[in-house]
Structure 1
Amino acid sequence: MSIQLRQAIVLGLCLCASSWAMAAVREYHLYIDEQPVKLTGKTVKKISVNGQFTAPLLEFEEGDEAVIHVHNQLQNRDSSIHWHGLLLPGVMDGVPGFNGFQGIAPKGHFTYRFQLRQQGTYWYHAHSKGQEQDGLYGPLVIYPKGKQPVAAHEQAERDYVVMLSDFHASSSDTILNNLKKSAEYYQNQRETLADVLQQVKQQGLKQTWQQRSMWNQMRMLRTDLSDVTGYQFLINGKTPEQAWTGLFRPNEKVRLRYINASAMSFFDVRIPQLKMTVISADGQPVQPVPVDEFRIGTAETYDVLVEPKAGHYQIEAESIDRSGFAIGSLLQQGMQPPPLHMPTARPRAVLTMEDMGHAAHGAESTEPHAVHSASSTSSTLQHPAMTHAAIKETESLTVAEDHPAVHSSHATQAQSKSSASSVPQGWANASTPAGHKALRYADLKALKPQPDTRAPVQELVIRLGGTMERYIWTINGKKFSEAEPLQVAYGERIRLKFINDSMMAHPMHLHGMFMQLENGQAAADLPNKHTLIVPPGKTVSALLTADELGEWAIHCHLLYHMSSGMMNKLVVAQVMPEQTASLPAAPSALPAAVQSSGDTHAHH
């Protein structure tokens, strides 16, 4: 850490000390340990917190001083907790190797202490090796002061967390080792001869042969939607058979706080026969958007309101590779729950050449700075350049034109017109039924005007790529251990431009600050996000006011992508007086919290 940054942090501490003295204190003790867990018929050891799998819900009110004592009772393993989406001093962010934080030694403890400057739905998880996958994750909710809704439409009689996650019988170390042996280790949904014959029937032998040849040359699978299979999907730590249930009285308004706390999974979420109104994204209020379903990427959160009339409603979160569901229920109070109904899986989509960044001319999104085709394809993917003839072959494909949250109306109409046996084309094609509304990033609009609408003074390009043969994932061609940190000045307004040169979607998460997603809304209405889904072969951009001093992680939130290199450090330093006059006082940092033993090391 630079001397300049240290001086700025000390200054921030002095400026904020007086306000901290007035805050209400909310205190927790969290004990990290291991215990046997049996969810899939096999008993395995997983990480527990306070004897629970998964970790307990932490609740606060905006303005509280959070004091969280974390005790690492694991044998011979450092640990840590990151407070996902929270605005706080860098040393409290919980990432080993950043801001002087070195993790929590075995049998050691660390006290996190910070003031809560926001409200909304968030979560917490380990940032040490694969401990997040192994069970160290839990929900965190910050209510508005006095638990008063931030807007009249947010008033609800019931309030439930719906935390989605993916449980694997194998340890995180085993999974990563298997991926390093072969990136296709878990690919058990390859296309079959029947799939090829269906493609011939739809597109003809010549076009089918040409497309198959191109995919073979690139040594990639069109079915590679998820790197890891074999997951049991959970809601609040429960399997579909264990049936997490939220009760309601007829016509009550119920708030559901969806958190995707999975390690590697995207979900398409719906409640059949019940409309949802999205009112918050990544903890930040948005103008209401009525929807029938939404796609939630790893590490994102969405709050929705529902008004169940009577009876029973099933919450269904289907993984995008169509390998399973997380299922829960809303049940009228006093009723007996009906038997579990396992829904029929939607057809699995296959990747297209546009998902590889080989978009036909004119295929870019019409929304400015939203989601569009990547301008080029990374050489690290190690496939030959596309010829003009090959690009022309992609023009007849049915592809989604919009963003992660769901496929476009184009794809919806094409899907509804096709036969039941046809295969959905494109990563973003969720097979949404005709006439149903699915959330799009373009729908999100901040509830209140953004305080900073300045134009950016610089653009940081963040290219996402990888080498599949070795299962290495990179930012700007380098894995984390080889990369130089990104640096910006305190108070500076910048654009982050994420260009995905790979065939996988990447949920890109920035610690310590919110980005304003450029989704076609006016500058004052851009929604705040801490995690942005960058679809295969596409570009997503966001604006950022660098108003939090420190060293902040920026990484893909797919656990094994981050662990294999897709991470960097964004350093905010060098206070610029001419740019900070209208900004809040510099954020504070606390002296290093007490650690009971030993130096520890970062996991990356």
Structure 2
Amino acid sequence: MLSRRSLIKTTLGAGTALGTAALLPAWARSAEQGNLGLPTLTGTQFDLTIDQFPVRLDGRAGLATGINGTLPGPLVRFREGDDITINVTNNLEEDTSIHWHGLLVPFYMDGVPGVAFPGIKPGETFTYRWNLNHSGTYWYHSHSGLQEQLGHYGPLIIDPKSPDPFAYDREYVLVLSDWSFESPHRIFSKLKKMSDSYNYNQRTLPDFLADASDKGLGAALDQRMMWGAMRMSPRDLSDVTGATYTYLINGHATADNWNAIFQPGEKIRLRIINASAMTLFNFRIPGLPMKVVAADGLNLQPVETDEFQIGVAETYDVIVAPETSDTFAMVAESIDRSGQAVATLAPRAGMQASAPALRPVPTLTMADMGMAGHGDMNMSASEDMTGMDHSAMGHGTNAQTSTMDHGAHSMDGGPAPEITRGPGVANVAMMPMSRLDEPGIGLDDQPHRTLSYSQLRSKDANPDLRLPEREIELHLTSNMERYMWSFDGVKFSEVTEPIKFYEGERVRLTMINDTMMPHPIHLHGMFFDLVNGGGHHKPRKHTVIVKPGEKLSIDITANHVGDWAFHCHLLYHMHAGMMQVVSVIGADDAPMHRQMDHDGMDHGDMGKAPPPEPQIGDDMMGHGHGEHDGMTHGEKS
């Protein structure tokens, strides 16, 4: 249903605004329209307007909510170290906001209503101001309701003060997204009634017969009965699929043929941003290797691959160097293989690469149930934990009675905290394990190279080489039948206490995915170091995919005081409750024991030579219980 104001705006704009080119910013137009990847908004002061406007996607007309009348929004580009002012005006009939994803802004400029600020009321203008000392590929989007699904997102690039460490001749921004002509509120309502409403990839009788032929009738029956007992489908890969989604690259469906041009022998930088609401994409360019040089805006030691999985809200920068005058298909295929967006990289404008056929639908395995490994061997690539303070053990994980006391928990060989199955916890991973060596669901059997998190190394040494002082363990939980998503079985609206960090501390956050879906988890306001065996060069990210049945750790330095959102970046999961608040408490307000050199280090020596680099594979599993870190565990807080 359209309001009278929206209907008038749609009617007035239909005659001039339904052309695809008119609805795209210059950077997102195809090469035949003159685009060379140039930005549209540069400088230090920007004016953005949030409004509704008509769009035409894949030959159909719709109504978008977006920025400056384009889908995606304009490319905002500025330089590291500049004083930036962005005026955002709300022309909607409801509140709105803009969150600057991955940017280290003051918390009151982070753009999360109810956490960082009240939001932007209809008719009001809010001014964001900051000065940033980092650079790279980022993006921005609404954090209000379900507006992001309606087109409220756009790319953002911060150019570095110093030259990039890798050379290239031209660049293109690729914004991947999913669009539905259904209202996002209707989509959410259907998911609440039946979580597999959009899953048309369920297993059939021919699948069962194929399993019986391959594994034997008894094994095939046992497997079907096991999945049935859990009331889960091994094809439950995405909640919202190509049944309603049109997948886009820079606002173009495959039929629209977004194309970029190159000259043979050139090096082309592709800045790839997953700005979708619910879709993890597998990105590849058949016949053209990719050199991954940055993740989530920060430079990496280059690694060459042929395909990678990119979670919602992640970004990757890659360099490609075509030597011939062929056309190349840039393919973003949804994780469940229900659809894809294909764009063209070619030597001349207007050329179109052949879209590859969709590949067979992946099937979940025992590992995705959290039953494929030994429960204790869950961080095979983690760093040595010697020197870590395990004395403060207050983390409650009881889904029924927890007061969400997110303190550090035992690492001394005692029993792991258990989570009680309540209405929000349908399953618990029995044997969670590290899956950092795996490229992502559906990519482990590909004939070409696929990227895994274990391959990533930061180009520069991590800025904080201290070992964690404590560990927080957090479970990713769900009840698919009720479409409930949460942390530790508690949805956001029922949380009574935030997760507390203390200014200056080094903390390890370990996440256990008890669900059977991958979750791109995003922490606002700070980068984290992914514990992947990288020693002093762990990849630094702001968003990480936690695979089903996985136990994954990140190390965080709590430098930015304030309240920060922490959530799954699958929009409807966050909307259903998979969100928390991380409060970084200032040193003056910290408990007394934390004001008194609580980590046992001489902070006057922090600028001296770093400790020896841990060897890959070192972890606490190889030490005796109770004394592997040289600390006493008899005293619990």
- Shorter chain as normaliser: what TM range? 0.7 to 0.9
CA deviation after TM superposition for structure 1 residue 384, in Å: 8.2
Structure 1 contact 357–377 (Cα < 8 Å) conserved? no
Aligned to 2:281: 267
Equivalent residue, structure 2, for 1:28: 46
> How far has the Cα of 1:48 moved from its partner?
2.6
Determine helix, strand or coil for the equivalent of 2:224: helix
1:241 CA drift (Å): 1.6
Q: Which residue of 1 aligns with 2:107?
A: 90
Aligned to 1:506: 519
Report which structure shows greater RCO (CA 8 Å, sep ≥6): 1
Distance in 2 between residues matched to 1:583 and 1:236, nearest whole Å? 45
- 1:218 aligned residue: 230
Deviation, 1:88, is 0.8
Residue from 50, 73, 85 that aligns with 1:67: 85
- Which aligned pairs between 1:532-547 and structure 2 lie closer than 5 A? 532-547=544-559
Question: What displacement does 1:331 show?
Answer: 1.5
Q: Take 2:87 and 2:140, find their aligned partners in 1: how far apart are those partners? A: 14
Partner of 1:291: 305
Identity of aligned residues (%): 45
Equivalences for residues 199-598 of structure 1 within 5 A: 199-229=211-241, 230-311=244-325, 312-332=327-347, 335=348, 337-361=350-374, 367-369=380-382, 379-380=421-422, 402-403=435-436, 406-407=439-440, 428-430=441-443, 432-434=445-447, 436-483=448-495, 484-522=497-535, 524-575=536-587, 578=597
Q: Is the 8 A contact 1:294 1:405 kept in 2?
A: no
**Deviation for aligned residue 1:369:** 3.2
8 Å CA contact retained: 2:149, 2:277:
yes
Tell me what 2:148 maps to.
132
Q: Which amino acid aligns with 1:453?
A: L
What displacement does 1:574 show? 2.8
TM-score by length of 1: 0.82
Gaps of 5+ in 1: 1-23, 392-398, 408-427, 585-604
Q: Secondary structure at the match of 1:186?
A: coil
What residue in structure 2 maps to residue 43 of structure 1?
61
**For residue 395 of structure 1, what is the aligned residue in structure 2?**
none
- CA–CA distance in 2 between the matches of 1:179 and 1:53? 26
Aligned amino acid, residue 551 of structure 1: D
Q: Is contact 1:276–1:306 with CA below 8 Å preserved after alignment?
A: yes
Displacement of 1:340 in angstroms is 4.8
> Is the CA contact (8 Å cut-off) linking 2:427 and 2:477 kept in structure 1?
no
The partner residue of 1:177 within 149, 171, 189 is 189
- The one-letter amino acid paired with 2:524 is H
Question: Which residue in 2 is equivalent to 1:119?
Answer: 135
Contact persistence 1:295–1:405 (CA under 8 A): no
What is the letter of the counterpart of residue 315 of structure 1? M
In 2, Cα distance between the equivalents of 1:221 and 1:460? 31
Contact 1:82 1:94 in 2 (8 A): yes
- Equivalents in 2 of 1:503, 1:462: separation in Å? 16
SS of residue matched to 2:149: coil
Unpaired segments ≥5 residues, structure 2: 1-41, 384-415, 589-594, 608-637
Q: Distance in 1 between matches of 2:428 and 2:137?
A: 44
| Structure 1 SS opposite 2:221 | helix
More divergent stretch after superposition (299-308 vs 352-361): 352-361
Q: CA deviation at 1:176?
A: 0.8
Residue 108 of structure 1, CA deviation: 1.1
Amino acid at match of 1:163: V
Aligned equivalents of 2:271 and 2:152: distance in 1? 19
Query: CA offset at residue 265 of structure 1?
Result: 0.6
The C-alpha deviation readout for 1:351-373, integer Å capped at 9, x for no partner, is 12321112244895673339xxx
Q: Does structure 2 conserve the Cα–Cα contact (< 8 Å) formed by 1:120 and 1:284?
A: yes
Contact 2:436 2:532 in 1 (8 A): no
Matches within 5 A, 1:133-148: 133-145=149-161, 148=163
Q: Residue type of the partner of 1:274? A: L
1:582 Cα shift?
7.8
- TM-score, structure 2 length as denominator? 0.77
**Separation of aligned partners in 1, 2:428 and 2:79:** 54
Cα displacement string for residues 411-464 of structure 1 (whole angstroms, at most 9, x for unaligned residues): xxxxxxxxxxxxxxxxx2315533x21111011111011121111111111110
The two structures, once aligned, show a CA RMSD in angstroms of 2.5
Aligned to 2:401: none
